[in-house]
Structure 1
Amino acid sequence: MAASGRDDEKTGEDISSVMGFSGFGKKARTFDLEAIFEQTRRTAIERSQRVLEDRQKETQGALSGGPSTASKRRERPSASTSSRQQDSDDSSDSELIGPPVPPGLTAQADDDDELVGPPLPPGYRGSTADDDDDDDDNDTMEDDDDPVKKIPDTHEITLQHGTKTVSALGLDPSGARLVTGGYDYDVKFWDFAGMDAALQAFRSLQPCECHQIRSLQYSITGDVILVVAGNSQAKVLDRDGFQVLECVKGDQYIVDMANTKGHTAMLNSGCWHPKIKEEFLTCSNDGTVRTWDLNNEKKHKSVFKPRSLQGKRVTPTCCTYSRDGKLIAAGCQDGTIQIWDRNLSVHTKFHCRQAHAPGSDTSCLTFSYDGTTLASRGGDDTLKTWDIRNFKKPLQVATGLTSYFPMTDCCFSPDDKLLVTGTSVKREEGNGKLVFFDRESFRKVYEIEVASASVVRCLWHPKLNQIMVGTGNGLAKVYYDPVKSQRGAKLCVVKNKRKEKQAETLTQDYIITPHALPMFREARQRSTRKQLEKDRLDPVRSHKPEPPVSGPGRGGRVAAHGGTLSSYIVKNIALDKTDDSNPREAILRHAKDAAENPYWVAPAYEQTQPDPVFAEEESEEEDTDKEPEWKKRKI
C-alpha cells in the first residue's frame, strides 16, 4: 500500500511538471493510518496493564498491611519507552480488548482474565451497595417518560373576569398577554408582565355591544385579535383593543349563500390561519364556513358549504385549520365532521357521517401537533380522536364527559402525549373538572377539580407550559409550575400590590400662568403638606360646618329656638301671649303708626303719586232727587 502511495505521488509530480505549476504551493501532507492505529492500540494496552498492576499491588498491600498505592505511585520512577515496549511484547498473551478499565474499579481480576466489552460506569465497585443510585436514575428516566409528571398544576392564580360564563380565551404566541371574553359581552385584557399580585385587567371593553363573546384568538404574529360574537360580523382588534376590521354583513334574502358577501346569521366560531397571518376562518348559522382576508373587508375570500347526506344545508358549530393550513375542518349540528382542501371548496376531502350523535352540537375540533390526529369534543358527552388518513372510524373514544356549553374545549399537551378537556356541572351539584387522557391508550390519567362550576374553555400554551381555564362562574384560572413553567403567571405573583392613592380632597391643582403680571402671580406651592395644613385652617376650603345660630337668626337660618321652621313658629307665634281674637282690632292697632310713618307703599310713590281728590259727600235726599226716572224704584 505504501508502494502504491509512492507511485501516485510520483505520477502527481510528473503531471505538475508537465502543466507548469510544479513550483507553486506546498506539498500535501500524507498520513500513514496503519501506523497511527498501531500506536494507539499499543498505548491503550500499556495503560490498561499499568492500571491492573497498580490495582493488584493495592489489593496485596491491603491484605499484608503494606504502603498505599498512592505512595508507591509517587516513589516509582517512570519507565522508559523501551521497557514499555518490552513489557507489551512479553504480555502479548494477556492483551486487553477494548478501552481501558476506569479508575475506582475494585473488583478482583486475575492475571489470566481478559476484560472484554465497554468500560464499567464510574462508581461501580463490583457490589450491590449502589443499587439505590441506579434505582434513582431509573426513576428519573421514568419521570421524563411519564407525561403526567409534566402537568404544571402545583400552583394556580385566579383572574376575576366577571360574574357570568367565561366563553372565550386567547393567548398571544409569546404568552405575554391573555384576553378573556364572556356572556357579559366584555373582553378583558391581562398583561402578565404588567400585573401585580392584585391581578387586575388593564383594559375592558365591549367590542360587539350586546352580543355574547364566543371566540377570541391572537394571530400568529400576535398583533391582532379575532373576535367572534353572537352577531353575524366578526371583528379584528389590535393589541390595545382598537378596531382594525369588521367583516361585511351578507344579504339575508339571497337563497344561495355563496352569492352573498358575508354571513347572514349568528357566528359560532373562528380561528386564524396557522401560516398566513392575514387570513382567518369563521362559521355561522347560515350554513357556511368562510375564509377572510384582513386586507379586504368588502367580501369574503372563499365559501365552504357543509351538506347532509340528502344534500341539505347543515349548520357548522365549530371550525379549524390543520397544523399546516392546507385543510379546513368543520363540525356540524347533525354530528358529522367534514374536511375540505383549502383550495377546493366544492367537495369534501374527508367526511364522517356518524362522528357524533345526530342532533348534537360538536363544540371543538383540534389537530395534534404532528398533524395526523384530529380530536373532537361532541355535544353527546364524548371525546374522540381520529386519524385523518383513515377517517371511517375513531381511533379512541371517551364517554361520560358532560358538556352543557356549545364551546367546550379540548386541546393537546405540548409534547402531544396528553389530551385535555373540561366537564360541565349544574349549579351546586359538584365541581367542574379538567380531565387528562393519554393519547395512545385513551386512559384517564389525571384530573383537576377547578371550581364549583362548569369548565368551558381550556388552553395549554406550549411556550409557557401553563394551562388557562375558563369557568362558568366568571373566573379564568391559570395553572403553572415554578420549575416546569416559563414566565406568564410567574411574573405577576412575585410583585407586591401597589398602594392605592388616597383621594386628596383638600388639595387644589396649581394653575401656572407664565405671562401673568407680577401682581397676579401666586406663590408657587413648595410642599403639599404645608398647603394641606393651611387649607385645614381655612373654614371655607376645609368645609367647616357652621356653628349654631345665637340670637334671632340670620341668612335664612333660625336661632336656637329649634332646629326646624316649625319649632320656630311654635316658639314665636303659636305661643304668643297677645290676644288676637278680634283681627280687625289687631290690624287697626297699627293704623296710626302706618299713617304717621309710612314704610311699605308710600315711599315708592312719593315722587310720582298725585294728590288724591275725593268726591264731596251729599245728603241722601239730594241723591234721590237727582236720580233719573228709569232708576227710580217702581212702587
Structure 2
Amino acid sequence: MDPSRVEEASDKMSDDGEIASVMGFSGFGKKARTFDLDAIFEQTRRTAVERSQRVLEEREKETDMEEEGESSKSVKPPVKAAATASSKQESDSSSDSGSDSDSDSEVIGPPVPRQHEDDDELVGPPLPPGYTGSTAHSDDDDDDDDQEADDDDNPVKKIPDTHEITLQHGTRTVSALALDPSGARLVTGGYDYDVRFWDFAGMDQALQAFRSLQPCECHQIKSLQYSVTGDVILVISGNAQAKVLDRDGFNVIECVKGDQYIVDMANTKGHTAMLNCGCWHPKMKEEFMTCSNDGTVRTWDVNSEKKHKAVFKPRTFQGKKVTPTCCTYSRDGKLIAAGCQDGSIQIWDRNLSVHTKFHCRQAHTPGSDPSCLAFSYDGVTLASRGGDDTLKTWDIRNFRKPVNVATGLPNNFTMTDCCFSPDDKLILTGTSVKKDQGSGKLVFFDRTSFLKVYEIEVTNASAVRCLWHPKLNQIMVGTANGLAKVYYDPFKSHRGAKLCVVKSQRKEKHTEILTQDYIITPHALPMFREARQRSTRKQLEKDRLDPKKSHKPEPPVSGPGRGGRVAAHGGTLSSFIVKNIALDKTDDSDPRAAILRHAKEASENPYWVAPAYTQTQPEPLFAEESEEDEEAENEPEWKKRKI
C-alpha cells in the first residue's frame, strides 16, 4: 500500500477527531453497554440472603440480651462462614458485573424468584415468612387464579339466580316489561289494561307499585320500552295508535290513525289496524318504530306525531302483503328487522325502505308467528323466537340458513321473549305451559355450542317476558298468572332489587283515632280546671255521645218549623200534587155538576173557541127521535143490528 495514502488517511482521521471534539459529539462513537442478566440475578439473590441473615442475627442478639447467664456465642460457626463466603462471592460478582456493565453503582432490586434459588445450593438460615418466593403461598395463589379463570370461562357461574322477589302486577298475563337504562324503575303491563310503575329505591318489603294507570283504556298492553335516555316510555297496545308517556305516566304524544279506506298503506299517515310490537332507536332518542296488522312497519319522530317518517312493507314470495308480528333495531341502529306471519325474517337498511337487504323466506314454519327478534351486543348474531316452538340464531354475514336451532320450547304467546346475556355468551328464553300442567321455565343456551346449560323453574304458569339488565345484572320475568319476578345475586348484582329487600315494611298510620291533649293546670280554679282523663276509651265513648263533638247531623224538621228552620216539603211531583190537593178548599164531589156550572156562562159569553169559528162554523143539525128508533131500542139484544 502506498505510504503517502496511509499518512493522508491518518491525517484525515486526526482532523475528524479534532472536529468531533470541537463540535461536542465525540462520545457518539462509544460501544453500547452490555448487561449480564445471570450476574444481576445472582447479585440480587445474594443481597436478599444477606439482608435476611442480618435480620436473624439482630433477633438472636436481642434474645441473648434478655436471657441471663447465657454466653453471647450463640451464633453457629457454619452460618458465619456461609455469610462470609456469600459476602465474598457477592463482592467478586459485583466487581465482575461492574466491569461488564461499565457501572460503579450497586444494583439493588426485588428478591429473585424461587426457581432461580433452586438452581444453586444455598447454605444458610431459612428465609423470612413474608418472602414472596415461598412455595406454599405461590401454590395457593395459583389455585385461586385457576379458580377465578374457571369462573370467568364458565358463563353459568354468572347467572344471578340465588335470590328472587315477586311483584304482584295483577291476576292476568304480564305481557310487557321495561327497565330504564339506569335500572332504577321497572314498568309492567298486562292483559288487564294496567301499566304499573315500580321504583326499587322507593319500595320496601311490601313491594307495592307507586302508580297504576290505564293509558290505552280497554286495550291490552303489548309492549313497553324506555327510550335510550330513560325520560319517556313507548306504549304499544291493541289499538292502532302508539302512545309515548313520560316517567310519571303523563301523555306526551299519541300517534295519528291512518285512513283505512286507502289501499296503498304508504299514502296513509299512520297505522289502520292493531299494533303488534314497537321499540326505540338505540342511538337516537327521538325515533321509534312500530309494526301493525295493516302489513307495515313504520318509524316515527317524537316531535312530529301527525305523520310517520318512513314506511317498510313486508312482502311474501309472491309479492303479497304479509303481517309483521315483531320488529327490532340492530345495535347500531342501521338495520331494521321484522318477523312476519309467514315465518320469514326480513331486514332493511334504515335509509332504504323499498327493498330488503337480508331476507330469509323459510326462517320458521309458515303460518307460525315469530314472537321476538334480538340482536347480540356485538351486532353479528340475530336470535329469533318462533311460534313453532323453536329458538334459532342467525349470522348476519350469511343469512341463508340458521347457525343453531333449539327445538322443544313451547310458545303459546305472541310476545314470548329471547335475549342475550350481558357478556354475550348465553341466550335465554321462556317456555309456555297449559293451565295446571307444569311450570314455566327460563332456559339458558350457550351461544357457541347451543347446548342447554341451565334452566330456572319460574312458577306454575307460562314465562312470557324475560329481560336481563346489563347494568344491574338482574333477570326480570313476566308470567301468565300476573307475577313479575326479579332474580338477583347479592354479590354479582348491583342495586335494583337489593335496595328494597333490606327496607322494613312501613307501619300503617291510623288516622281515624283522634285524641285530645290533656292540659294540666294545677293552680286553676275548680270551675276552670279540666278533669283528669282516666281512660282514652271512655273519653272517646263520651265524645261519641256528645252531638257537638261527634258532629251528629240534625234531624229533619217536622211540622211548621222551629229554631229558624222551615220544614221542607217533598221534592217529588207526587208530593207537590198531594200538597196542592190538600190546599184546595173546593168541593168536587159531583164532577158533572161542577162542569155544568160554567156551561151557561160559556154559551152566553164565549171567549176561547166560539169566536174563532163564528164566520165558518155551520149550524149543528141533530137527528130527531122517531117511533122506529124507539121500537128498535125495545128489541132484544140478539135482534139488534151490529154496527
Per the alignment, residue 504 of structure 1 pairs with 512
In structure 1, C-alpha distance between the alignment counterparts of 2:87 and 2:53, rounded to whole Å? 18
**SS at 2:337's partner residue?**
strand
537, 545, 563: which one aligns with 2:542: 537
Would you say the 8 A contact 2:45–2:117 is kept in 1? Answer: no
In structure 1, C-alpha distance between the alignment counterparts of 2:278 and 2:421, rounded to whole Å? 21
Amino acid at match of 2:120: A
Would you say the 8 A contact 2:310–2:353 is kept in 1? Answer: yes
Change beyond 3 A, Cα 1:280–1:533:
farther
For structure 2, list consecutive stretches of 5 or more residues without a partner in the other structure: 1-14, 56-73, 102-108, 123-130, 517-532, 553-557, 559-643
Structure 1 residue 300, shift from structure 2 partner? 0.3
Change beyond 3 A, Cα 1:460–1:53:
same
Q: Is 1:346–2:354 an aligned residue pair?
A: yes
Per the alignment, residue 415 of structure 1 pairs with 423
Structure 1 residue 466, shift from structure 2 partner? 0.2
Change beyond 3 A, Cα 1:91–1:33:
closer
Structure 1 residue 42, shift from structure 2 partner? 5.5
Change beyond 3 A, Cα 1:69–1:433:
farther
Per the alignment, residue 187 of structure 2 pairs with 179
Per the alignment, residue 44 of structure 2 pairs with 47
Amino acid at match of 1:260: T
293, 300, 310: which one aligns with 2:301: 293
Q: Is 1:157–2:170 an aligned residue pair?
A: no
Structure 1 residue 386, shift from structure 2 partner? 0.1
Structure 1 residue 429, shift from structure 2 partner? 0.3
321, 326, 344: which one aligns with 2:334: 326
Per the alignment, residue 482 of structure 1 pairs with 490
Structure 1 residue 144, shift from structure 2 partner? 1.4
Change beyond 3 A, Cα 1:81–1:401:
closer
In structure 1, C-alpha distance between the alignment counterparts of 2:298 and 2:382, rounded to whole Å? 21
Written as runs of structure 1 = structure 2, the 5 A alignment for 1:275-290 is 275-290=283-298
Amino acid at match of 2:410: T
Amino acid at match of 2:112: V
Change beyond 3 A, Cα 1:86–1:148:
same
Would you say the 8 A contact 1:45–1:88 is kept in 2? Answer: no
Per the alignment, residue 202 of structure 1 pairs with 210
Per the alignment, residue 377 of structure 2 pairs with 369
214, 236, 243: which one aligns with 1:228: 236
Per the alignment, residue 222 of structure 2 pairs with 214
In structure 1, C-alpha distance between the alignment counterparts of 2:16 and 2:454, rounded to whole Å? 70
Change beyond 3 A, Cα 1:499–1:84:
same
In structure 2, C-alpha distance between the alignment counterparts of 1:445 and 1:349, rounded to whole Å? 34
In structure 2, C-alpha distance between the alignment counterparts of 1:349 and 1:264, rounded to whole Å? 26
Structure 1 residue 143, shift from structure 2 partner? 1.1
The number of residues matched between the two structures is 489
**SS at 2:347's partner residue?**
strand
In structure 1, C-alpha distance between the alignment counterparts of 2:474 and 2:18, rounded to whole Å? 67
Change beyond 3 A, Cα 1:69–1:367:
farther
376, 398, 403: which one aligns with 1:395: 403
Q: Is 1:124–2:132 an aligned residue pair?
A: no
TM norm structure 1: 0.69
In structure 2, C-alpha distance between the alignment counterparts of 1:9 and 1:200, rounded to whole Å? 88
Would you say the 8 A contact 1:366–1:374 is kept in 2? Answer: yes
Change beyond 3 A, Cα 1:529–1:479:
farther
Per the alignment, residue 25 of structure 1 pairs with none
Change beyond 3 A, Cα 1:280–1:32:
farther
Amino acid at match of 1:187: V
Structure 1 residue 171, shift from structure 2 partner? 0.2
Amino acid at match of 2:490: P
TM norm structure 2: 0.68
**SS at 1:181's partner residue?**
strand
In structure 2, C-alpha distance between the alignment counterparts of 1:176 and 1:77, rounded to whole Å? 66
In structure 2, C-alpha distance between the alignment counterparts of 1:532 and 1:175, rounded to whole Å? 49
Per the alignment, residue 241 of structure 1 pairs with 249
**SS at 2:156's partner residue?**
helix
Amino acid at match of 2:394: W
**SS at 1:122's partner residue?**
coil
Q: Is 1:431–2:439 an aligned residue pair?
A: yes
Structure 1 residue 233, shift from structure 2 partner? 0.2
Would you say the 8 A contact 1:274–1:325 is kept in 2? Answer: yes
1:267-297 Cα shifts (integer Å, max 9, x gaps): 0000000000000000000000000000001
Change beyond 3 A, Cα 1:106–1:532:
farther
In structure 2, C-alpha distance between the alignment counterparts of 1:485 and 1:4, rounded to whole Å? 74
The CA RMSD measured in Å over matched residues stands at 4.1
Amino acid at match of 1:537: K
Structure 1 residue 389, shift from structure 2 partner? 0.7
1:481-500 Cα shifts (integer Å, max 9, x gaps): 00000000000000000001
Per the alignment, residue 273 of structure 1 pairs with 281
**SS at 2:348's partner residue?**
strand
Per the alignment, residue 469 of structure 1 pairs with 477
**SS at 1:149's partner residue?**
helix
For structure 1, list consecutive stretches of 5 or more residues without a partner in the other structure: 14-28, 59-64, 93-97, 112-119, 509-527, 546-554, 556-635
